[in-house]
Chain A
């Protein structure tokens, strides 16, 4: 009996709610122990541009949803991720050292991180906003509003937890995201599109690219229709590229300095509303008070 030849899945990009191939036609092969395990798209600058267009289009609808609804959708993502846990464990274990045990721990932490931010969706405004006791007959309060289109440069490791750790706070506060996933371990990013697509996440709210920083980072920084950048695991030179590109239209840049991949598991730091705070704008309203 001949050994069955496995069917290798070809992963595509997740962009505007669909799974297109990269317009460049380029792909990369993910190998594990010298064997090919998957084909992945190598996103181009044009894919990125398309992703920003999709994200911008989705922004007003997503930010206008009730906080409760956004929370429910994030929770749904957690449910779907949990359901696909085995697939993610295998995907991570295929390329990340530490085997399935470490991978399972990461997937579970990623699910929990989503649950945490699902809960933050209808609470962060109460923590980050406030009423201000101004002098005179005025009612005055400050509220957070989403910054807008956020590009996320995820760390190489932990490939899934790092990405979710950056994505969840951005989404829960009504922003939309274009993500460049882990370059070294891109498989989890590719599968995550399937989670989004089956979790009631509206098209364009999350856009996932797999590809090379060297090709895309400058564009991530410079694109004028991007409002903010979240970056983690970037080198000093990459950070400079991002901040320099951002200066031109004054994008908000938030770089997470994380010493070790293990640190991403720390909930005190990474389930904190501080991560949300970097991607909201504080709006202060004044109104007179009198009859």
Chain B
């Protein structure tokens, strides 16, 4: 019998298609790319290599004023367009995103560090889908909320995070535009590229000037935008800490507010679950996008009777995770988004051990470019519910493993958190599934699956994970003024 070598492994498979990146980018205001009025700019670093990728303008107060003014000018005409025509612009955007998908995927991966297979298979197609979904709502708004007349809110300020840059831009823009609002969008300072490329798409499809404006910059730009009196609606996705500040800032202003914030989502594995698939769910839940996911299943709650088996299977599975060059098609876990975030994660790894938990680092390094920000996938055992790593959002590939004995205890532990974004439940028993699902305090409950998203499925949190929903029919509501038919508007 001819026996071959037993060390068969995958060769490097870097995505080789070119995607043009300019040396510097301006702001997108009133349909044009322009320099910031005070000339400020920032570096964008490629997390996979730690090298300078490009530079981008930093919007100051005057730029914020200009962008809000442009959005304000554009809004009445945009809202007055026949709704069907508004929808057709969104369909065009969706199509262009599909056509330019490969370019967008490469930009997203270079700018943010996520593996190319995720930007290729998840971020970009889902972003296009979101525009496609809401395009179809534009002329159906009066049917969305029976008994109520739907009107746009006005000018929306939308501030988005760095974990799903284009997808979050789509989540924000698509419903806002479909409802007849105009937008000033601020992408995160570590990932401005795809939002700017999306602005280019807006130009390409002939979207009227001022309907979408993109301001790049850091927290100060966001704060100035949020505080602008010309803004009628503020939508934010990001940390709970910043969300609270924004909520304070708009108090008494009459501005509408929706917040999609952090989480420490419980992932419950019952003893009767399909364990191999549950382990896949755990991996999807915490290691998808390096764990930079607000709904990451970061608190694993395993029934004690299967805890050893689940942890053993998980440990084996985690060894298969390939950490490396985000552009390599075989990379499972790419680069951490920034040096700062890598530092945060490593601080928690140290803290968890100081608190008495046992750290296991796993995964295997594939091609690892020098200078990038990389972190192996990890899990902690011997975690107490009071530990920081069991309560605070780490936003990295770090799982805290805990256990429970009875379903009652599972619920009590699952709900022992100020957050309430998502939860996972694995059981083969339908009645138990519904009981746990109805008692866990979370906006999204994945039963026998995890981290699934769809444009038609509402997403958003309970408690301090924020309020308002994005996606689906419910995702329209934050962008509409609804008045009762027959009542004075």
Write the residues of chain A forming the contact surface with B, with a CB cutoff of 8 angstroms: 127, 130, 132-136, 138, 140, 142, 145, 227, 236-237, 239-240, 243-244, 246-250, 252, 259, 263, 266, 268-269, 272, 274, 277, 281-288
A236 touches B463 (CB 8 A): no
Q: Is A283 a contact partner of B247 (Cβ separation < 8 A)?
A: no
Q: Are A247 and B487 in contact (CB under 8 A)?
A: no
Are B487 and A286 closer than 8 Å at their CB atoms? no
Q: Which of B129, B245, B250, B252 has the most CB of A within 10 A?
A: B252
Asked if B244 and A133 make an inter-chain contact with CB atoms under 8 angstroms apart, the answer reads: no
Chain B residues with Cβ under 8 A from A246's Cβ?
A: 247, 251
**Minimum Cβ distance to chain B for residue A119 (Å):** 15
From A130, A250, A285, B472 is in contact (CB under 8 Å) with A130
In the complex, chain B residues 410-464 whose Cβ is within 8 Å of any chain A Cβ: 418, 433, 437-438, 442-449, 452, 454, 456-460, 462-464
Cross-chain contact A239 with B252 (CB below 8 angstroms): yes
A286 to B433: give the CA distance in the assembly, Å: 11
Residues in B whose Cβ lies below 8 Å from that of A133: 456
A15 to B51, CA, bound (A): 64
Min CB distance B482 to A, Å, is 7
Who on chain B is nearest to A281 by CB?
A: B462
CA distance A134 to B370 in the complex (A): 41
Instruction: Decide yes or no: A272 and B452 within 8 Å by CB, A240-B252, A281-B443, A282-B460 being known contacts.
Output: no
Report the number of A-B residue pairs with Cβ-Cβ less than 8 Å: 118
Residue of B418, B474, B486 with highest tally of chain A CB at under 10 A: B474
Q: Contact: A244 with B457, CB < 8 Å?
A: no
Q: How many angstroms between the C-alpha atoms of A239 and B243 in the bound complex?
A: 19
CB contacts (< 8 Å) of B129 on chain A: these are 135
Please indicate the chain B residues that have their CB under 8 angstroms from the CB of A269 in the complex.
484, 487
* Residue of A142, A240, A252, A268 contacting most chain B CB atoms (<10 Å): A142
B448→A288 contact, CB < 8 A = yes
Residues B467 and A286 in contact, CB atoms below 8 Å apart: no
Name the contact of B148 in the complex, choosing from A227, A248, A274 (C-beta under 8 A). Answer: A274
Known contacts: A140-B454, A284-B444, A284-B457. The answer to whether A266 contacts B487 by CB under 8 A is yes
Q: Please tell me if B229 contacts chain A, counting CB pairs below 8 Å.
A: no
In the assembled complex, the CB of A93 is this many whole angstroms from the nearest CB of chain B, namely 28
Say yes or no: B449 contacts A243, CB within 8 Å.
no
| CB of B299 closer than 8 Å to a CB of A | no
Q: In the complex, which residue of chain A has the Cβ closest to the Cβ of B147?
A: A272
Between-chain CB contacts (< 8 Å), 19 pairs: A132-B454, A142-B457, A244-B248, A246-B251, A247-B247, A250-B243, A250-B247, A250-B463, A252-B467, A259-B488, A266-B487, A269-B487, A274-B148, A274-B484, A277-B477, A283-B445, A284-B458, A285-B447, A286-B449
Q: Is there an interface contact between A247 and B418, defined as CB atoms closer than 8 Å?
A: no
A residues in contact with B418, CB < 8 Å: 249
Given contacts A130-B472, A142-B474, A268-B486, contact A286 B250 (CB under 8 A): no
| CB of B469 within 8 Å of the partner chain | yes
B146 touches A (CB below 8 Å): yes
- In the assembly, what is the distance between CA of A287 and CA of B482, in Å? 32
Contact B244 A250 (CB under 8 A): yes
Chain B contact residues (Cβ within 8 angstroms of A): what range?
Answer: 35 or more
B167 beta carbon closer than 8 Å to chain A: no
Nearest-Cβ distance from residue A8 to partner chain B, whole angstroms: 41
Q: How far is the CB of A185 from chain B (nearest CB, A)?
A: 25
Q: Report the bound CA distance from A127 to B146 in whole Å.
A: 8
B107 in contact (CB, < 8 A): no
Whether B231 sits at the interface, judged by CB under 8 Å, is: no
Find out whether the CB atom of B447 lies under 8 angstroms from the CB atom of A286: yes
B176 part of interface (Cβ distance < 8 Å):
no
The answer to whether A247 touches B486, judged by C-beta atoms less than 8 angstroms apart, is no
- Kindly provide the distance from the CB of B140 to the nearest chain A CB, expressed in whole angstroms: 14
Is residue B116 contacting chain A, with contact meaning CB distance below 8 A?
Answer: no
Q: Do A284 and B449 contact each other (CB < 8 Å), given the known contacts A132-B458, A269-B484, A269-B487?
A: no
Is B454 in contact with A247, judged by CB distance below 8 angstroms? no
B252 to chain A, nearest CB (A): 3
Q: Are A248 and B487 in contact (CB under 8 A)?
A: no
Known pairs A135-B454, A239-B252; A250 contacts B467 (CB<8 A): yes
Q: A285's contact among B437, B474, B484, by CB below 8 Å, is which?
A: B437
* A251 to B243 CA separation, bound complex (whole angstroms): 12
Q: How far is the CA of A39 from the CA of B254 in the complex (A)?
A: 38
Chain A residues within 8 Å of B449, by CB: 138, 286-288
Knowing A132-B457, A135-B454, A286-B444, say if A142 contacts B251 (CB, 8 Å). no
- B 240-261 contacts with A by CB, 8 A: 240, 243-245, 247-248, 250-252, 259, 261
A132-B472, A269-B484, A281-B462 given; A286·B244 CB < 8 A: no
Q: Is B485 an interface residue (CB 8 A)?
A: yes
* B55 on interface, CB distance cutoff 8 Å: no
User: Measured between alpha carbons, how far is A134 from B454 in the docked complex, in Å?
Assistant: 6
Q: Measured between C-beta atoms, what is the minimum distance from A204 to chain B in Å?
A: 19
Decide yes or no: A283 and B457 within 8 Å by CB, A239-B252, A268-B484, A269-B484 being known contacts.
Answer: no
